[in-house]
Amino acid sequence: MTPYKYDRRGKLLAVRTRIAGNIGVTRYLQLYTMLSQALTDGRIVAGSALPSEPELVREYQVSRTTVRRALARLENENRIVRRRGSGTYARTPKTEQTLRLKQSNVLADSKFLAQHTKGRLIDYQRIATPEAVRRFSPELGETALRIRCVRDFEKEPLLLAVGYVPERLSSGLNKRVVGQKVLVTCLHELGARPSGGDQFISAIGADAFVAKHLKVDINSPLIHARVTLRDSQDRIVTHEEVFLRPERVELQTPMQVR
């Protein structure tokens, strides 16, 4: 995004940035994301005025309703203040508590997550394995135990984990314990010890279910991790889909240069 410019009175001058259509993200959310990022990184300085609604409509070529929805969300988040007859101004940014996940060792990271977050079990039931999951982990078979759990950090949702456990392991799990500990730790204690696997990380928009439990808007950008773990005999231990709020977590991966 092009750096913002200000006039002599310190008012932000809008810069033309294209709002795209037909990309699976609503126009209001695109505008919200642009303004939110500019507030976060200081390109919109605390206390400075944002462009007026007509200016935003003209510069971004969107409707007045789109602009108002984006500004309303920022106002609800206490990122901006709207003063009748004066304009819209950036508030001093609030320091958000984030949790750094090192992603160095599955078991160590799972224990760290359990120590610093609190789990809330949403769902624990045997279901027909979703086709989308079977494409990546066909070894799960036709049915699996699905475990959905939210983990809170500083009393706010940090992530939603959706785990699928094969039938051969499901009977040994304890529902109450799974709600307290991280699934991988529970499986390890059960004797199903993962020795390796695959992890894929991408960005994704929140669907209605995820948005509800992470307290974000539908289509809000999230970090998405798909993890498949296997034991020493190359049998699947679990398939997990993890959705993380990007403003609340940092993913640190050790790197080596040889």
The per-residue pLDDT of the chain, averaged, comes to: 87
pLDDT single digits (tens) 62-75: 999 999 999 999 99
* Tokens (6 digits) for 164: 């699928």
Question: For position 167, which CATH number holds?
Answer: 3.40.1410.10
Name, in order, each residue with C-beta under 8 angstroms of 98's C-beta and a sequence gap of 6 or more.
247, 248, 249, 250
198 and 73 belong to one structural domain:
no
Length of the chain, please? 258
- Choosing from 72, 90, 108, the residue where a domain stops is 90
Of the candidates 137, 147, 160, 149, the one whose C-alpha atom is nearest the C-alpha of residue 230 is 137
Q: Is residue 258 part of a domain?
A: no
Of the candidates 112, 193, 200, the one whose C-alpha atom is nearest the C-alpha of residue 151 is 112
107 and 185 belong to one structural domain:
yes
35 and 116 belong to one structural domain:
no
Please state whether the predicted TM-score (pTM) of the whole model is above 0.85. Answer: no
Q: Is residue 130 part of a domain?
A: yes
Average pLDDT estimate for 134-140: 93
- Choosing from 90, 111, 134, the residue where a domain stops is 90
What pLDDT shows up at residue 94? Answer: 60
Helix residue ranges, H only, the chain: 27-40, 53-60, 64-76, 106-116, 131-136, 167-170, 175-180, 183-190, 208-214
Question: For position 48, which CATH number holds?
Answer: 1.10.10.10
245 and 119 belong to one structural domain:
yes
- Choosing from 65, 90, 115, the residue where a domain stops is 90
Q: Is residue 170 part of a domain?
A: yes
Of the ranges 24-28, 35-39, 85-89, which one carries the lowest mean pLDDT score? 24-28
Domain that holds residue 72: 5-90
Q: How many domains does the chain have?
A: 2
Average pLDDT estimate for 8-23: 56
CB 211 within 8 A of CB 218: yes
143 and 199 belong to one structural domain:
yes
